[in-house]
Amino acid sequence: MAQVELQDVCKSFGNVDVIHGVSFSVEDGHFVALLGPSGCGKSTLLRLIAGLEDLTGGQILIGGRDVSDEDPAERGIAMVFQSYALYPHMTVKQNIGFSLEVAKRPKDEIRAKTQEAARMLRLEELLDRRPSQLSGGQRQRVAIGRALVRDPSVFLFDEPLSNLDALLRVQMRLELAKLHRKLGATMIYVTHDQTEAMTLASKIVVLNHGHIAQIGSPVDLYNKPADRFVASFIGSPAMNFLPGSILGSAPRGVTEVGIRPEHVRLVEQRKGTKNLAGTIQLVERLGNATAIHVETPAGTVTALTGPESEASAGAEIGLAFDAAKMIGFDADGKAKIFGIK
């Protein structure tokens, strides 16, 4: 396995700059997610690492070797695509071993590596089937198996679970996490799904319009976002944003405050109290929790409560905030204060 390092990487398509001087490293054996909304440049960045796109500027190092001008086949990487990219006329066995066939590896080696990949991915009973006879999750495991047999230094995943239904995505997240633990491989994973990123990755690179917004562990990004963009993108239900004036006297430089729904409490509204009050617009029963959306003079506020909540749409309610969990943002959207006293 190998470390991956990006140094001031830039990419332009004609006059359009897509990646703006991006630098970060992926330590040997770590699982890093590239996270951001559609169009932020994360898939382009992955293709630059793979060598499927040419750099406009900067360098990419894999295992300490500058691979910026090397062909994809020379970089020691394997890529798993969103579309699976399986050959429909081939069996599972043939799809998994195809890259070894092309490389003219000995038949015994192809057979052994194919069987080992099938065992790790629980595909032994499917080896003679064709892709059309497989479920979405099974096809994705075949695509991973095809990457696995190449013994790459780095695995690259480009939104591999986005075509699967919700239950299959959860199952495949577990499969990928187990696979990473078994292999101890360096993995870079592109997704727009913050749940995938936070449950799989030890480090997340958040991208916004081709720039790095923040790099950190899932816990750091959730509790200490660098700015309003990261705060709004990480977390479900999303963070509430309210004018700093709701504090009465906001700390110096704070124009807006953010608070997670789980740190908002519903309270009985009484005359003379200073709690923010409003009308419940929507109650979402999520099974393990209840999201309650309240329309207030300061905007819509979401509170996350227990599953047994008896709240109902149309009711008038008061809201109380845990100020110690609030984040203060300045006029430029930069996080200024974590926890307001």
What CATH number is associated with residue 315? 2.40.50.140
Question: Between 290 and 182, where is the model more confident?
Answer: 290
Question: Residue 137 above 90 pLDDT?
Answer: no
* Structural domain ending residue among the three candidates 180, 206, 232: 232
Q: What is the token pair recorded at 102?
A: 């092309």
How many independent structural domains does the chain possess? Answer: 2
User: What pLDDT is stored for residue 201 in this prediction?
Assistant: 95
Instruction: Check whether residue 195 and residue 104 sit in a common domain.
Output: yes
Instruction: Check whether residue 222 and residue 259 sit in a common domain.
Output: no
Instruction: Check whether residue 196 and residue 246 sit in a common domain.
Output: no
Question: Residue 211 above 90 pLDDT?
Answer: yes
> pLDDT digits over 14-70, tens only?
999 999 999 999 999 999 999 999 899 999 999 999 999 999 999 999 999 999 999
Residues whose CB falls within 8 Å of the CB of residue 302, separated by 6 or more in sequence, listed in order: 237, 238, 240, 261, 264, 291, 292, 293, 294
Instruction: Check whether residue 202 and residue 245 sit in a common domain.
Output: no
Instruction: Check whether residue 154 and residue 242 sit in a common domain.
Output: no
User: What pLDDT is stored for residue 161 in this prediction?
Assistant: 86
Judge contact between 158 and 2, C-beta under 8 A. no
Q: Count of H helices and E strands in the chain?
A: 8, 19
Domain hosting 102: range is: 4-232
> pLDDT digits over 247-276, tens only?
878 888 999 999 999 999 999 876 655 678
Instruction: Check whether residue 215 and residue 253 sit in a common domain.
Output: no
Instruction: Check whether residue 45 and residue 147 sit in a common domain.
Output: yes
Question: What CATH number does residue 164 fall under?
Answer: 3.40.50.300
Instruction: Check whether residue 195 and residue 322 sit in a common domain.
Output: no
Question: Residue 82 above 70 pLDDT?
Answer: yes
Q: What is the token pair recorded at 121?
A: 């991915």
Question: Residue 183 above 60 pLDDT?
Answer: yes
Instruction: Check whether residue 279 and residue 218 sit in a common domain.
Output: no
Instruction: Check whether residue 330 and residue 313 sit in a common domain.
Output: yes
Helix 136-148 and helix 107-120, axial crossing angle in degrees, nearest 10: 140
Considering 105-114, 152-161, 175-184, 198-207, the range whose residues carry the highest mean pLDDT is: 198-207
> pLDDT digits over 320-335, tens only?
999 899 999 999 999 9
| Distances 289 to 108, 300, 326 between C-alpha atoms, Å | 53, 19, 21
Q: Give one DSSP letter per residue of 199-215, joined into a string.
A: HH-SEEEEEETTEEEEE
Instruction: Check whether residue 163 and residue 134 sit in a common domain.
Output: yes
Question: Residue 87 above 70 pLDDT?
Answer: yes
Question: Between 102 and 127, where is the model more confident?
Answer: 127
Q: Give one DSSP letter per residue of 238-257, joined into a string.
A: PPEEEEGGGGSSPPTT--EE
Instruction: Check whether residue 283 and residue 161 sit in a common domain.
Output: no
User: What pLDDT is stored for residue 150 in this prediction?
Assistant: 85
Nearest to 142 by CA among 156, 155, 130: 130
* Structural domain ending residue among the three candidates 191, 217, 232: 232
Q: Could you give the CA distance from residue 280 to residue 211 in angstroms, rounded to a whole number?
A: 38
Strand order in the sheet with 57-62: 16-26, 4-13, 57-62, 65-66
Considering 124-138, 239-253, 322-336, the range whose residues carry the highest mean pLDDT is: 322-336
* Structural domain ending residue among the three candidates 182, 217, 232: 232
Number of Cβ atoms within 10 Å of the Cβ of 166: 7
